[in-house]
Amino acid sequence: MTLTQHIWLPLVAATALATSMAAAQDTTLSYMMWDPEQLEAERAAIAEFEASNPGVTVEALAMPPEDYWPRLSALAAAGDLPDVFAMSSGFVQSWAEAGNLADLTGLITDEQLAQYYDSAASVGVIGDARVAFPQNWVAPVMYYNIDMFDAAGVEHPQADWTWDDFLAAAQALTVDEDEDGTPEQYGMWLYGRYSHIEPWIFRNGGRLLNDDMTALDPSPEAVNALEFLTSLVNEHGVAPAPAEMEGIRQQDVFPLGMAAMWVDGSWNIANVRDIAGDSFQWGIAQVPVGPDATEETARAYAWADMLAIATNSEQPDLAWDFIQHMVGEGRTASDFLGGKIPAFQAIAESEAWLEADMQPANKGLLLEIGTQPVETGFSRDWSAWRGYAASGSGGMNGELDEVFNGRSELDEAIENFVAYGNDVLTR
Partner 1 sequence: MTPAWRRYAPALIFLLPALVGLAVFRLVPILWSFVLSFYDWQIFDQPSFTGLDNYIHILTSPVSGQVLRNTAVFALIYVPGSIALSLVLASVLNNALRSSAFFRSALFLPYITSTVAVTLAWKWIFSTRFGLLNNALAALGIDAAPAWLADPTYALPAVAIVSIWKDVGFYMILLLAGLQTIDPTYYEAARIDGARVVRRFFRITVPLLSRSLFFVLIIAMVRSTQTFEITYALTEGGPNRSSTTLAYFIYENAFIHFQMGYAAALAYILCFLLGLLTLVNFYFRRRWVHE
Partner 2 sequence: MNRRVSGPGALLALYGFLVVYAALSLMPFAWMLITSFKEQAALFQLPPSFRPSLLFTDTPMANYSVIWNERNFVTFFRNSAFVSFMAAIGQVFTCALAGYAFARLPLPGKNVIFAIILATAFVPTEVTIIPEFLLMRGFGWLDTFLPLIVPSFLVGAFGTFMLREYFASLPHDYAEAARMDGAREFRIFWRIYLPLAQPALISVFVIAFINNWDELLRPLLYLTSPDLYTVPLGLLSFVSQYEAAWGQLMAGSVISTLPLIIIYVLTQRYVLAGFSGGGVKG
Considering only residues 363 to 422 of the shown chain, the ones binding partner 1 according to CB under 8 A are: 381, 383-384, 388-394, 398-399, 401-402, 405, 407, 420
Q: What is the largest CA-CA distance in the chain?
A: 78
94 binds partner 1 (CB under 8 A): yes
Contact between 15 and partner 2 per CB under 8 A = yes
Site for partner 2 in 202-261 (CB under 8 A): 248-249, 252, 256
Decide if 143 contacts 263 (C-beta within 8 A).
yes
Among 104, 106, 109, which Cα is nearest to 133's? 104
- Looking at the Cβ atoms of 93 and 224, the one nearer to partner 1 is 93
Pick 161 or 417: Cβ nearer partner 1: 417
Q: Is 62 left (phi over 0), alpha (psi -120 to 50) or beta?
A: beta
Does residue 275 interact with partner 2 by CB under 8 A? yes
Among 148, 245, 306, 365, binds partner 1 (CB under 8 A): 245
Part of the chain binding partner 2 (CB under 8 A), chosen from 76-84, 194-202, 218-226, 317-325: 76-84
> Which partner, partner 1, partner 2, none, binds residue 267 by CB below 5 to 8 Å per kind?
partner 2
- Contact, 239 vs 189, CB < 8 A? yes
Whether the CB-CB separation of 189 and 359 falls below 8 Å is answered with no
Reduced to 3 states (helix: H, G, I; strand: E, B; else coil), residue 296 is: coil
Figure out which of the listed residues 16, 43, 47, 71 binds partner 2, where binding follows CB under 8 A.
71
C-alpha span between 389 and 147 (Å, rounded): 33
DSSP per residue, 386-402: HT-GGGTTSHHHHHHHH
With contacts defined by CB under 8 A, name the span among 140-148, 205-213, 227-235, 264-272 that binds partner 2.
Answer: 264-272
Q: Which does 2 bind (CB under 5 to 8 A by kind): partner 2, partner 1, none?
A: partner 1
Residues 170, 312: contact at Cβ < 8 Å?
A: no
> Do the beta carbons of residue 200 and residue 221 sit within 8 Å?
no
What is the closest distance, in whole angstroms, from the C-beta atom of residue 419 to partner 1 in the complex? 9
Check binding of 358 to partner 2 (CB under 8 A).
no
Q: Are 117 and 262 in contact (CB under 8 A)?
A: no
Q: Specify the stretch interacting with partner 2 by CB under 8 A; choose among 235-243, 265-273, 292-300, 358-366.
A: 265-273
Q: Which does 61 bind (CB under 5 to 8 A by kind): partner 1, partner 2, none?
A: partner 2
Binding to partner 1 by residue 8, rule CB under 8 A? no
Residue 76, number of CB atoms within 10 A of its CB: 18
- Give buried/exposed letters for 242-271 (b at 16+ CB in 10 A, else e): bebbeeeebbbbbbebbbbbbbbbbbbbeb
| Residue 9 within binding range of partner 1, rule CB under 8 A | no
Helix and strand element counts for the chain (H, E):
18, 14
Question: What is the binding site for partner 2 (CB under 8 A)?
Answer: 4, 8, 11-12, 15, 34-38, 61-65, 67, 70-71, 73-74, 77-78, 80, 248-249, 252, 256, 265, 267-268, 270-271, 274-275, 277, 338
Question: What is the binding site for partner 1 (CB under 8 A)?
Answer: 2-3, 66, 69-70, 72-74, 76-77, 94-95, 97-100, 242-248, 381, 383-384, 388-394, 398-399, 401-402, 405, 407, 420, 423, 427
